[in-house]
């Protein structure tokens, strides 16, 4: 709601598209970049969080990705969705951070013993009146299970099943072929076992949620960096 009100007050009309906003920012309406950040903060967070597990590091990479997007906005040609272009920048920054720290996990990485035990707790045996409580716990267990995946699988799973990117968009973000995306997604589902696959359309959408306070913090940090650069 806050984002919608802000867009309306700044434009005097209905919500403009991402591409329209990007064009106006490029033409000098710098303040509108905040609208773009607030629109995509949750998606960018999830994409980065799929690769990095340290929350401070995630926010740092997000901020750097936004600064890069702002300073290279003239390179956005509209041949892909703005969100895809932005997420690709964020994913590349996260991958760069991983490589610098030599923390890239082998393609054979999978679920650890503890996570496998956690997944077994997801049997649906609790009465319906307690479904809400179970869903909250399930989200926590799903996050544990997803975190246990190797980054190349975790990223594909989050982009495809949590963020809802198409195979084509995911391939573009990761700079791989669509066949590679399909293969990795299949492997990720297999590693997460039947419990994860059965819940892909439910509370999984709440995984790695990005709360308003964090949204405000990231936006404030990025806008401060842009105004002082």
> At the topology level of CATH, where does 2-104+210-228 sit?
Rna Polymerase Sigma Factor; Chain: A (1.10.1740)
SS3 content of the chain, % helix, strand, coil (to 5): 75, 0, 25
Task: List the pLDDT tens digit at each of the 229 positions of the chain.
Answer: 344 444 444 444 578 899 999 999 989 899 999 999 999 999 999 999 988 888 899 999 999 999 999 999 988 877 788 999 999 999 999 988 888 765 444 333 443 444 344 334 333 444 444 455 555 666 777 787 788 888 888 899 889 988 888 999 999 999 899 999 999 999 888 887 654 554 545 555 566 677 777 888 889 889 888 887 6
Candidates 1.10.260.40, 1.10.10.10, 1.25.40.10, 1.20.1250.20; CATH matching 113-206: 1.10.10.10
State pTM to two decimals: 0.63
- DSSP-assigned states of every residue in 83-103: HHHHHHHHHHHHHHHHHHTT-
Q: Where are the domains of the chain?
A: 2-104+210-228, 113-206
| Structural tokens at position 86 | 């932005």
The HSE-up count of residue 56 (CA atoms within 13 Å, CB side) is: 0
């Amino acid at each position: 709601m806050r984002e919608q009100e802000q867009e309306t007050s700044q434009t005097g009309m209905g919500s403009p598209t991402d591409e329209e906003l990007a064009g106006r920012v490029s033409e000098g309406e710098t303040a509108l970049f905040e609208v773009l950040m607030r629109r995509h903060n949750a998606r960018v967070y999830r994409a980065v969080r799929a690769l990095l597990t340290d929350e401070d590091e995630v926010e740092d990479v997000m901020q750097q990705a936004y600064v890069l997007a702002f300073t290279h906005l003239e390179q956005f040609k509209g041949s892909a969705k703005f969100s895809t272009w932005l997420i690709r920048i964020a994913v590349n920054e996260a991958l760069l951070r991983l490589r610098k720290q030599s923390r890239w996990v082998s393609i054979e990485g999978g679920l650890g013993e503890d996570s496998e035990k956690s997944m077994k707790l997801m049997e649906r045996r609790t009465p319906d009146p307690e479904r809400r409580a179970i869903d909250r716990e399930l989200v926590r267990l799903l996050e544990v299970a997803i975190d246990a995946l190797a980054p190349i699988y975790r990223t594909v799973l989050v982009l495809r099943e949590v963020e809802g990117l198409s195979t084509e968009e995911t391939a573009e973000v990761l700079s791989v072929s669509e066949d590679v995306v399909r293969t990795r997604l299949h492997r990720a589902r297999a590693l997460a076992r039947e419990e994860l696959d059965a819940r892909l359309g439910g509370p999984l959408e709440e995984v790695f949620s990005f709360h308003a306070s964090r949204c405000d913090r990231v936006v404030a940090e990025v806008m401060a960096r842009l105004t002082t650069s």
